[in-house]
């Protein structure tokens, strides 16, 4: 074969950036973890923040209870950020931060931490996730209402384009849409509509600053996508996204530079499809999903982080994360995928798949546009996602969609991987919360309070004037420098912007197609109604700051479809809220869902609050609940615990009906998760 | 039911708010033994037992989905509680499903302090029942009116629910958002009863909100209902119009001949109850509306609507 027919690239491609989504307990502990990960060949950082940091609360806030240091690292002020990045040269590092509502604040802390290292902001490289629409749709860590949230995002983009030019100020996330049940078409359409809403918002804010500004802004927008185990179609999805993106850039924003039109994305592959049953199978799933985002050169990821095999069990340990990093390294350094040009070029199958997805996505984007764009269409998109997720669960329940080890081939030897005392997961020391609470109090007492007050007053003044031309980033950075805390920054803005609750999507969700199982369940519910004198009534809600509501929503919709009255309370509930609702609504049973690992603290607190209120209704709990915690929850008074391996929601409903039927006498509490609770991470 | 109806009724009459959840459980139940206890409960909170009309201001708040009712209620709750008034909200969900189940999402949209014992929110599904109210809503409102300062009945819809709400509330407020022409058309066409107060939300939208307010005021004048206040409110911070709305609501209540409005409401309520539960045929058997009203007018004025409905059924049997 002559060299002009050599199918190989002249030079092997450089691998993508390799990251691990990591952070837990404290800034210091996370810093040690990052340094070890970098020594192992990781090439970028991906910071996981805990839920209080993500939603704008300090560790000593009542709402932070049980959540401090759990799903990520708590960062309250510039001292924490400096400790987190200690010894890591920020002028060279590429850092991705999964941060949204409080993204402007965390970027400000990062800029100040860099200053302390003597690194100027224009050298900084990295990404803030900063995609608030998907928080309203799928992830739940929003803090402010839509309009001021979009203003914050627009200001951040305007600021970084000018002052932090190598920063990706926003990662439009289709990732979480897939976790919430999106089909590939929905994932493409909603992500693109979301990007359009952001770009339109920026254009409104800075469009008058010369003709080049939108060209530059467009070039800084990147995506964060998902890839499921149907990896051929998933690859086609990414090719479709890159075609659409270029089209939007040219046609809507007049972008012409090919570099700026390129569809740039990072990826975390699918967590929704990872199972608690036979969790070792997740390794194969992760490998195949990684192929979806690396196989074809024309739509290859810029940065990859892979979930750990045991995510559906609890928080992964450093060793579990190392395994996922090694998957990337084997792919990049042992296989030959980086040696060829695009291997799907000219493939009829791939082209047809891409065309089909493009057609579907364009028409769904038109529907979103008819609703007035992505911000206005949040309720529509949310309801559509709840519907898609319900359909997915139905297919798994009926066996139409095979999940190895879960609904087929369930027989298994016992696993040596989960045999240690903690069941093969990381358990955050419960002392962390109290220590962090004390630490932030100490920080507040040692700083120049006058400077902090002035900085926050300035922030409030700029935020309070919606017509202000002043960029919110400037007073934000000044507050970070003065030593303000995450909770103070967010509280200042909450006071000006007001608070907000996103639509739940469950009210609009259409009814399930009735099958024999559901009909039988409805008959049982009717019998129970006769016995109770009223229609059985269930309270479904999520205590704590965890915003992954997909599971709770599915439980709520199925309870309704089985004939119950459902009080759906959504996310971020305090124990006293749950108790007051249960009492006032006269519910017969309470279903709580928690995925953040805070069940050890929060569930007993809810049960105590219910007892104080004199509520007799049983409690069931669902979520990512490690086996070794089940007994403790049961003895605290929980009637039943469901985990991702309980994927059959109709069966959970039958349990609940039986529970209510047997026990107007017996107090109990059940928490339900089921696969419906999802295994979502990130 | 462990607690007897009469005891719960007495506690409500003595304004013990903690009796409310159990009272509502009882009133919503259709188990035969509960129905007996509910009768006993309602007797304890009837005007006869109270020695007059129940003290609460019963306010109906209705409007189409998305008009901003929950946000408005959050602002009103805040203002009432700041003034020391206790408030019960009966939120009626209109959804009707083949399964019979419902998703009651309103509570999550109303902001209030969960530790505050002076607020109660109860969600119910209207199910298949016509008229926009749940079976127990009327009884619940009458019972809670004995104990709370304010009882709000929140329903969804325009042109369907107002009639039933008007037979139960002292003051009916219809909530519309700017630009919603349907309310205007319904009013002009007489499909919709004229409310006591019209609330235009989202007044921060500016010109379109002002125009909606002007159009509604003009329509009301041409219908000879210039007395109906039209209030524009905004819940964006800083909220505006809430004080004006509170004044409009309490002025309406102050201008009422309360005993006669309530008496008429109880009689209409009993009639509706009979028609909904036993069908129009039962009403016809009593000689239609005039015949039924004649029966009701013979009853003592201090009976609750539940007792009045029973009187109609007894008349049917006799």
SS3 B276: helix
Tell me: pLDDT of A303 over 50: yes
Q: Tell the residue number behind the tokens 């955050």, with chain if given.
A: A428
> In the prediction, which pLDDT does A421 show?
66
Q: What local confidence, expressed as pLDDT, does residue A448 receive?
A: 97
pLDDT mean over B194-206: 86
CB distance from A555 to chain B under 8 Å? no
Count A/B contacts: CB-CB distance under 8 Å: 102
- Rounded (10°) angle between helices A146-163 and A184-206: 70
H or E stretch at A467: none
Sequence spans of domains, chain B: 1-51, 57-254, 257-318
Shortest alpha-carbon distance between residue B102 and chain A (Å): 5
**B21 and A576 in contact by Cβ < 8 A?**
no
- Reduced to 3 states (helix: H, G, I; strand: E, B; else coil), residue A11 is coil
Contact call for B111 and A533, based on CB within 8 A: no
Are the C-beta atoms of residues B299 and B291 closer than 8 Å to each other?
Answer: no
B206 burial level (CB within 10 Å; 0-12, 13-18, 19+): exposed
Looking at beta carbons, which residues of chain B come within 8 Å of A588? none
**Whole-number Å distance between alpha carbons of A265 and A221:** 9
In the structure, how many helices (H) and strands (E) does chain B have? 15, 8
Question: Do residue A566 and residue B101 have CB atoms under 8 angstroms apart?
Answer: yes
Q: How confident is the model at residue A516 (pLDDT cuts 50, 70, 90)?
A: confident
CA dist B92 and B156 (Å) reads: 7
* Band of pLDDT at residue A667, cut at 50, 70 and 90: very low
Least confident of A102-116, A265-279, A361-375: A265-279
Which among B99, B104, B124 is the nearest to A522, CB-wise? B99
Is residue B82 less than 8 Å (CB to CB) from chain A?
A: no
Buried b (16+ CB within 10 A) or exposed e, A5-32: eeeeeeeeeebbbbbbbbbbbbbebbbe
C-alpha to C-alpha distances, A76 to A26, A79, A319, A539, B38, nearest whole angstrom: 11, 8, 28, 34, 55
Among A525, A530, A535, the residue to mutate for chain B (most B Cβ within 10 A) = A535
What are the Cα distances from residue A624, in Å, to A419, A447, A552? 18, 39, 12
Instruction: Give the Cα separation of B197 and B228 in Å (integer).
Output: 5
Task: Say whether pLDDT at B75 is over 80.
Answer: yes
Residue A328 pLDDT greater than 60, yes or no:
yes
Q: Is the pLDDT assigned to residue A612 strictly greater than 90? A: yes
Positive or negative, the CA dihedral A311, A313, A318, A319 is negative
Sign of CA dihedral A607, A611, A612, A617: positive
CB-CB contact of B152 with B89 (8 Å): yes
Which tokens hold the place of A130? 């900063």
Q: Is B107 on the interface with A (CB under 8 A)?
A: yes
Q: Half-sphere exposure (CA, 13 Å, Cβ side) for B259?
A: 8
Is the predicted pLDDT of residue A678 greater than 50, yes or no? Answer: no
**pLDDT above 90 covers what percent of chain A?**
78
Distance from CA of B181 to the nearest CA of A (A): 19
List beta partners, residue A69.
none
Residues of A with a catalytic annotation lie at 21, 175-176, 542, 546, 548
Mutate to test the interface with A, among B70, B103, B126 (most CBs of A within 10 A): B103
The domain A516-677 having CATH identifier 3.40.50.620: the answer here is no
Q: Tally the C-alpha atoms within 13 A of residue A41's C-alpha that lie toward its C-beta.
A: 14
Residues with Cβ within 8 Å of B102's Cβ and at least 6 positions away in sequence, in order, are A560, A565, A566, B93, B95, B125, B127
Separation of alpha carbons A53 and A97, rounded Å: 12
A525–B contact, CB cutoff 8 A: yes
Q: What is the layout of strands, in order, in the sheet containing A265-268? A: A17-19, A303-305, A265-268, A221-225, A170-173
List, by residue range, all CATH 3.20.20.240 domains of chain A.
Answer: 8-308+316-398
Strands A669-672 and B150-156: unpaired
Alpha-carbon distance of A135 to A139, in angstroms, equals 5
pLDDT average, residue stretch B124-134: 81
Strands (DSSP E) found in A544-655: 565-573, 589-594, 619-623, 638-642
ipTM over 0.90: yes
CB A424 within 8 A of CB A418: yes
* A336-356 residue pLDDT tens: 999 999 999 999 999 999 999
pLDDT at A680 > cutoff 80? no
> Is a pLDDT exceeding 80 seen at residue B2?
no
Interface contact B36, partner A, CB < 8 A:
no
Buried residues in A249-273 as b, exposed as e (16+ CB within 10 A): beeebebeeeebbebbbbbbbbbbb
Tell me if chain A has a CB within 8 Å of the CB of B128: no
Is A579 part of the contact surface with chain B (CB cutoff 8 Å)? Answer: yes
A-interface mutation test, from B28, B90, B92, B100, most A Cβ less than 10 A away: B100
Please say whether the beta carbons of A176 and A680 come within 8 A.
yes
Q: How far is A569 from chain B (nearest CA, A)?
A: 5
- Classify domain A8-308+316-398 at the CATH class level: alpha beta
Architecture per CATH, B57-254: 3-Layer(aba) Sandwich (3.40)
Q: A221-225 and B229-232 as β-strands: parallel, antiparallel, unpaired?
A: unpaired
Q: What is the pLDDT of residues B27-57, one digit of tens each?
A: 999 999 999 999 999 999 999 999 999 999 9
As a whole number of angstroms, the distance between CA A307 and CA B288 comes to: 71
Residue A580 at interface with chain B, using a CB cutoff of 8 Å: yes
Q: Answer for the pair A460, A492: CB distance below 8 angstroms, yes or no.
A: yes
**Cβ neighbours of B34 in A, within 8 Å:** 533
**CA atoms of A588 and A563, how far apart (whole Å):** 14
What average pLDDT does the segment B170-190 reach? 83
pLDDT over 70 at A406, yes or no? yes
Q: Is A562 on the interface with B (CB under 8 A)?
A: yes
Q: Sign (positive/negative) of CA torsion A332, A329, A32, A601?
A: positive
Instruction: Read off the tokens for A60.
Output: 């000593």
- From the list A127, A140, A207, A219, the residue with the least C-alpha distance to A171 is A127
Nearest residue of A to residue B35, measured between CA atoms:
A533
Partners of A48 in beta bridges: A98
Q: Tokens representing A394?
A: 């139905």
> How is A122-176 classified by DSSP, letter by letter?
GG-EEEE---HHHIIIII----S-HHHHHHHHHHHHHHHHHH-TTEE-EEEE-HH
* Mean pLDDT for the stretch of residues A64-73: 93
pLDDT at residue A676 is higher than 80:
no
């Amino acid at each position: 074969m002559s060299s002009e027919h050599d199918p190989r690239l002249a030079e092997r491609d450089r691998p993508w950036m390799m990251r691990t989504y990591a952070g837990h307990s404290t800034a210091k502990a996370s810093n040690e973890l990052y340094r070890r990960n970098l020594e192992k060949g990781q090439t970028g950082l991906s910071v996981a923040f805990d839920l209080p940091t993500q939603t704008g609360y300090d560790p000593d806030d009542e709402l932070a209870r049980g959540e401090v240091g759990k799903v990520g690292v708590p960062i309250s002020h510039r001292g924490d950020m400096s400790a987190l990045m200690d010894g890591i040269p920020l002028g060279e590092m590429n850092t991705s931060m999964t941060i949204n509502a409080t993204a402007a604040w965390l970027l400000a802390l990062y800029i100040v931490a860099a200053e302390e290292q003597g690194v100027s902001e224009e050298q900084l490289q990295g990404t803030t996730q900063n995609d608030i629409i998907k928080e309203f749709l799928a992830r739940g860590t929003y803090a402010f209402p839509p309009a001021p949230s979009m203003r914050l995002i627009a200001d951040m983009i305007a600021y970084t384009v000018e002052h932090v030019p190598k920063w990706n100020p926003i990662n439009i996330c289709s990732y979480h849409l897939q976790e919430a049940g999106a089909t590939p078409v929905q994932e493409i359409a909603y992500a693109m509509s979301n990007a359009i809403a952001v770009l339109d918002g920026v254009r409104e804010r800075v469009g008058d600053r010369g003709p080049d500004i939108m060209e530059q802004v467009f070039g800084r927008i990147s995506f964060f996508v998902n890839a499921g185990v149907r990896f051929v179609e998933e690859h086609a999805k990414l090719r479709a996204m890159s075609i659409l993106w270029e089209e939007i850039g040219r046609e809507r924003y007049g972008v012409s530079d090919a570099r700026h039109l390129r569809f740039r994305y990072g990826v975390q592959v699918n967590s929704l499809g990872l199972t608690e049953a036979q969790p070792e199978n997740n390794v194969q799933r992760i490998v195949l999903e990684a192929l979806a985002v690396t196989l074809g050169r024309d739509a290859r990821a810029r940065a990859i982080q892979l979930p750990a095999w045991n995510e559906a069990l609890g928080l992964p340990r450093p060793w579990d994360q190392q395994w996922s990093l090694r998957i990337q390294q084997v792919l990049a350094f042992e296989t030959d995928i980086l040696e060829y040009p695009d291997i799907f070029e000219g493939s009829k199958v791939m082209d047809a798949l891409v065309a089909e997805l493009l057609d579907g996505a364009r028409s769904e984007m038109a529907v979103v546009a008819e609703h007035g764009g992505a911000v206005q269409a949040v309720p529509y998109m949310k309801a559509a996602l709840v519907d898609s997720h319900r359909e997915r669960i139905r297919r798994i329940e009926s066996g139409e969609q095979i999940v190895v080890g879960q609904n087929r081939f369930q027989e298994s030897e016992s696993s040596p991987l989960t045999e240690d005392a903690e069941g093969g997961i990381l358990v955050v020391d419960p002392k962390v919360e109290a220590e962090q609470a004390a630490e932030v109090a100490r920080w507040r007492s040692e700083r120049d309070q006058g400077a902090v007050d002035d900085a926050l007053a300035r922030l409030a003044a700029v935020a309070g004037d919606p017509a202000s031309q002043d960029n919110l980033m400037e007073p934000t950075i000044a507050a970070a420098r003065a030593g303000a805390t995450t909770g103070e920054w967010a509280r200042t803005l909450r006071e000006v912007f007001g608070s907000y609750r996103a639509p739940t999507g469950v009210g609009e969700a259409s009814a399930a197609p009735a099958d024999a199982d559901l009909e039988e369940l409805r008959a049982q519910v009717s019998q129970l109604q006769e016995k109770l004198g009223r229609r059985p009534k269930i309270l479904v809600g999520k205590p704590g700051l965890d915003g992954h509501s997909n599971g709770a929503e599915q439980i709520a919709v199925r309870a309704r479809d089985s004939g119950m009255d459902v009080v759906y309370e959504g996310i971020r509930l305090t124990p006293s809220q749950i108790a007051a609702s249960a009492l006032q609504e006269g519910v017969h049973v309470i279903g709580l869902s928690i995925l953040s690992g805070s069940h050890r603290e929060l569930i007993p607190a809810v049960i105590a609050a219910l007892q104080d209120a004199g509520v007799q209704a049983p409690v069931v709990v669902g979520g990512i609940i490690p086996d070794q915690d089940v007994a403790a929850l049961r003895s605290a008074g929980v009637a039943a615990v469901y985990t991702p391996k309980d994927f059959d929601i109709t069966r959970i409903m039958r349990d609940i009906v039986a529970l209510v039927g047997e026990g107007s006498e017996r107090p109990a509490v059940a928490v339900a998760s089921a696969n419906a609770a999802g295994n979502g991470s990130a | 039911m462990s607690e007897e109806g009469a005891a719960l009724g007495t506690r409500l009459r003595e304004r013990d708010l903690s009796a409310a959840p159990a009272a509502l459980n009882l009133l919503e139940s259709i188990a035969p033994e509960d129905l007996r206890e509910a009768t006993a409960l309602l007797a304890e909170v009837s005007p006869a037992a109270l020695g007059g009309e129940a003290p609460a201001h019963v306010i109906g708040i209705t409007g189409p989905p998305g008009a901003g009712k929950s946000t408005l209620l959050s602002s009103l709750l805040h203002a009432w509680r700041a003034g020391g008034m206790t408030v019960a909200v009966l939120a009626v969900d209109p959804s009707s499903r083949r399964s019979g189940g419902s998703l009651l999402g309103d509570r999550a949209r109303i902001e209030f302090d969960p530790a505050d014992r002076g607020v109660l929110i109860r969600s119910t599904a209207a199910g298949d029942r016509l008229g926009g109210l749940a079976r127990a809503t009327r009884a619940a409102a009458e019972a809670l009116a004995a104990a709370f300062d304010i009882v709000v009945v929140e329903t969804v819809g325009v042109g369907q629910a107002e009639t039933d709400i008007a037979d139960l509330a002292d003051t009916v407020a219809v909530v519309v958002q700017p630009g919603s022409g349907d309310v205007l058309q319904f009013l002009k066409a007489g499909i919709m009863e004229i409310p006591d107060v019209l609330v235009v939300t989202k007044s921060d939208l500016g010109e379109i909100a002002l125009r909606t307010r002007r159009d509604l005021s003009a329509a009301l004048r041409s219908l000879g209902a210039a007395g109906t206040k039209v209030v524009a409110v905004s819940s964006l911070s800083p909220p505006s119009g809430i004080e004006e709305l509170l004044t409009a609501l309490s002025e309406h209540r102050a201008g009422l001949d309360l005993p006669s409005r309530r008496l008429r409401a109880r009689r209409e309520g009993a009639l509706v109850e009979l028609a909904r539960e036993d069908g129009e045929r039962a009403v016809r058997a009593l000689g239609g509306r005039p015949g039924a009203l004649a029966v009701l007018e013979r009853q003592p004025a201090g009976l609750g609507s539940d007792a009045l409905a029973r009187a109609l059924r007894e008349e049917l049997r006799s």
